Chains A and B, each alone.
Chain A
Amino acid sequence: MSAVAPAASPTTATADSDIIIETRNLGKIYRDFWGRPKVQALESLDIEVRRGEIFGLLGPNGSGKSTTIKLIQGLLFPSSGRAFVFGKDARDVSKNERIGYLPEESYLYKFLNAEETLDFYGRLFDMPADVRKKRSEQLIQMVGLKGARRQQLREYSKGMTRRIGLAQALINEPDLLILDEPTSGLDPIGSREMKDLILRLRDEGKTILMCSHQLADVQDVCDRIAILHRGRLRELGRVNDLLKVREVTEVHAKGLSAETQAKISELIKSSGAELLSIDNPTTTMEELFLEIVRESEARPGMRTSASAQASK
């Protein structure tokens, strides 16, 4: 992908097109009070999130994931480039009608209880009282907070807070869900439920942008991922493609005789290749991740290994 010069309007994305989120040359420099640059948190990011997919943002701590998400929400203003959501500028408030957002930590009002919280955010979507009531009933049920609905959020455990945070993100039946570390703070069962829910929402036709540290989670649910490191895009593509190691062939067979195995080894050797091991599996997400980080530390710039270009 090459950097696109910032333009006044999105090239491809319109309200109905298949591109839900588009960032062009998006960059963010955090400045101090006097306007002096402090941190370059993001550098010319170009990604597209398409309708109906689960897009994962990956990266080590401080790599700019949350910054990207905040830029896409209009919570931060870009220092360069632009971001579009539903074909509208990220700073356009009206886009929020169709977005559900689960922040890094659930920034909710601690003095409200679950019902009041959902009612409050429902009002912000200008929903009439009966719709709000019905909807919050469903959501409380769905995230499993029925027993704690009258409890103030200050008394909630971390997992419960995460659940109510998710419920508030879904109050408006959004077309686009933006989840900043959705499984953090959840126990294995909770995080399984969360992942199932994400997949179900995708199957309902919603688009999901999430970022996470939990590589396994990303591997489980994401269709495509982007890996960031130090504010730069390192890797972008379909999860399956990225995890496929092309120079390695994997052979799974049942009932091979030792003789046949020897023949295969022979064949490999004669074709000039080297036999590693016949039963080696695909690489794991973790390995991929660590490799990218190592590599990018050694050699800045976008990765150009064989699989990395599989962005389409």
Chain B
Amino acid sequence: MRLESEQMWGYFEWLFQQFALLWGVGILAGLCLLGFIVCYVAATFLYGPVEGFYAVTRVIYELFARDLPSTTWRRTYAIARLAFQEAMRRKVLAVVAVFIVGLLFAGWFLDPNADYPARLYIESVLTGTSWMVLLLGLFLSCFSLPADIKNKTVQTIVTKPVRSTEIVLGRILGFSAVGTMLLAIMGVLSFFFVVRGVRHEHDVRAISADGKTGQTTLDANHTHTFEIGENGEGVTNEVKGHKHAVVDTGEKGEDGKPIYALEPPVGMLQAKVPVLASLRFTDREGNTGEGLNVGYESNYQKYIEGASLMSAIWTFDDVTESRFGKDGINLEYTLKAFRTFKGDIVTGVQGTVTLRNPNGKVESNRLRFIIKEFQVDQMSIPRELEGFVNSEPKKLDLYKDLVDENGKMEVIVRCEDRSQYLGMSQADLYIRKADRSFGWNMFKAYVGIWLQMVIIICFGVMYSTFLSGPVAMIATLTCLVFGFFGGIASEVASGKIPGGGPIESIIRMPTQTGAMTELDLGSDVLENVIKTIDYGIMSPLSVIGRVFPNFGSLNTSSFVAYGVDIFSSLLFRHITQAACYFVVTALIGYFFLKTRELAA
């Protein structure tokens, strides 16, 4: 999993600095205006321009003056309950049975030799759960109202003092309740399935003559080696993403040596809390600049050159003892090496970490590391460490000396090997806070799935107020596709995805120009014209895309699979988005229901 900078925005940063609020209000205003115009044109067609205007404004007036004030909880609840009962009648609980069967068979399909079995388990149950719940929400919401209209049962409802608002809200609530129930059952089942699935035990198979190192038995398709320290306790190496603690049982074997036992795995089901920082680079002269691009297709990582003044500087905020603990901090990083010569392939590329007070006067010694590629690397930084104050060697205290008065601290990474490069992006280095519970993280992922389900139900109910069941379903799916490709369109328009828009891409194909190289047609004017047209095509698309929910970005299950605590801010953002979709779809549904003849 790779964290995108968008995912790291704080809630209010997203709302204000990243213009989410502005976009939201803009889109809402646009939709209202568009809706009014469309309705007015339709009404003019039916009743003539004056009467038409009157008809449209009357519906709006009725919403605020009559229907919203007279909406009661009891009626809404009655409709919701009916929707729930209807779903139960349709035997939706069979979905749970299918899910259980799925779990039973999943054991066969999941590869026991996988590198990260926990990841595999979590990803498959979360994906399975969300597919089932989303499809269920889609079917329930799209077919219910059209069926009621066809059976004419709706006629007995709307001849009661029921408001259209109540019919729409009640349905959304009722189906959401069904989904919530199923999701809760499936969530609990999944949790135990995952916990059970990754649990395994090892015994000590062999131990060296000096009693310091040993090897475990082969269980769950892997073995560990371990080392035992002076105090008689030890830990195994990391295999398949986890370790075991080795403890002295207190008993002695026949030969008088202590007998060791292994504890359950740690690190398999975790929810680590990365504290991210902003990243900047210095160039070869040591001035603030850009990292290098080594020509990989992705712009995601930037590279720094070894044995030069180039460095990557992360600035952390709010570095306090109360936040990270009195013993110092844990750094975690996943850096990429780019070698321009093979060198000593076994040793690996070397780098250093330096902590620095942003005032520039206090700096720690360089702490060496050898990078392990494609693996998360850890470095514990003790509370007390050697360093320099104004270039004078001195003993430093992490929180007192290296953090400035604003609570900021810099972490500088350099590459030490000449002509080798280290690649990194913002999320590749972070301070790891105390872990949260895995169960809580899984719960948050389920909240994410729940939000997606509610959004689908909202769209389904909205479309079902004026379309027949199958058409409503297709319309809902189309919205999801729009949302998904809208995300891509906006990335193309903003240049985040290399290669340019449609015209540029078409030119690149026959000329076989790679996406990373600049388009070169020998004429700046021509290039600019093409880029402008592309932008003109892609930016409206990206606006349209923003109107629809992007399920790609709403999905947080990979956080759980990769053992990263889902940021609360991200969750709140998704809740906000879902709430907006709820309001908009409920309104549109209301207007359609209000203005259609239910007996025709």
Contact = CB atoms under 8 A, between A and B. Distances in A.
Contact of B152 (A35, A107, A126): A107
18 contacts: A30-B600, A70-B155, A75-B598, A76-B597, A76-B599, A76-B600, A93-B66, A93-B67, A93-B161, A93-B162, A94-B161, A106-B156, A107-B154, A108-B153, A111-B86, A121-B156, A126-B72, A168-B156
Interface string A85-109: 0000000011011010101011111
Interface in B336-394: none
Interface string B32-76: 000000000000011000000000000000000011001010110
Contacts of B598: 75
Interface in A96-131: 96-97, 99, 101, 103, 105-109, 111-112, 120-121, 123-126
Contact of A126 (B75, B156, B159): B75
A124 B158 CA distance: 10
B85 A112 contact: yes
A178 to B, nearest CB: 8
Contact of A73 (B89, B159, B162): B159
A100 to B, nearest CB: 9
Contacts of B158: 74-75, 93
B43 to A, nearest CB: 12
B160 A111 contact: no
Contacts, number: 79
Contacts of A103: 152, 155-156, 159
Interface in B69-91: 70, 72, 74-75, 77-78, 81-82, 85-86, 89
B171 interface: no
A106 to B, nearest CB: 8
A121 B159 contact: no
B159 A99 contact: yes
A30 B599 CA distance: 11
Given A103-B152, A126-B72, A168-B156, A109 B161 contact: no
A120 B78 contact: yes
Nearest to A127: B74
A107 B155 contact: yes
A94 B67 CA distance: 10
B163 interface: yes
A77 to B, nearest CB: 5
Given A94-B70, A124-B162, A126-B72, A101 B77 contact: no
B157 interface: yes
Contact of B75 (A77, A101, A124): A124
Nearest to B72: A126
Given A75-B155, A120-B82, A121-B156, 11 more contacts: A75-B159, A75-B598, A76-B599, A93-B163, A96-B160, A106-B156, A107-B155, A107-B156, A123-B78, A124-B157, A124-B160
Contacts of A76: 597, 599-600
Contacts of A73: 159
B597 to A, nearest CB: 5
Contacts of A96: 159-162
Interface in B566-600: 597-600
Nearest to B158: A75
B356 to A, nearest CB: 67
Contacts of A125: 160-161
Nearest to B151: A107
Contacts of B67: 93
A5 to B, nearest CB: 15
Interface of A: 30, 35, 70, 73-77, 93-94, 96-97, 99, 101, 103, 105-109, 111-112, 120-121, 123-126, 168
- Sorting the interface of chain B by its residue count into under 10, 10 to 19, 20 to 34 or 35 or more gives 20 to 34
Nearest to A100: B159
B243 to A, nearest CB: 55
A66 to B, nearest CB: 9
B82 A109 contact: yes
Q: Which 10 residue pairs of A and B lie closest in terms of their CB atoms, listed nearest first?
A: A123-B78, A75-B599, A124-B160, A107-B152, A96-B161, A111-B89, A101-B159, A107-B153, A70-B599, A97-B161
Contact of B156 (A35, A70, A74, A108): A108
A105 to B, nearest CB: 8
Contacts of B156: 101, 103, 106-108, 121, 168
A94 B159 contact: no
Nearest to A129: B74
B86 A109 contact: yes
Contacts of B89: 111
Which of A30, A76, A99, A124 gathers most chain B CB within 10 Å?
Answer: A124
Contact of A109 (B72, B153, B162, B600): B153
B78 A124 contact: yes
Contact of A121 (B81, B160, B163, B597): B160
Nearest to B152: A107
Nearest to A31: B600
A108 B151 CA distance: 9
Contacts of A94: 66, 70, 161
A74 B161 CA distance: 12
Nearest to A92: B66
Contacts of A77: 597
Interface string B133-166: 0000000000000000001111111111111000
Contacts of B159: 73-75, 96, 99, 101, 103
Contacts of A168: 156
Contacts of B154: 107
B283 to A, nearest CB: 67
Contacts of B72: 126
Which of A74, A76, A109, A168 gathers most chain B CB within 10 Å?
Answer: A109
A102 to B, nearest CB: 9
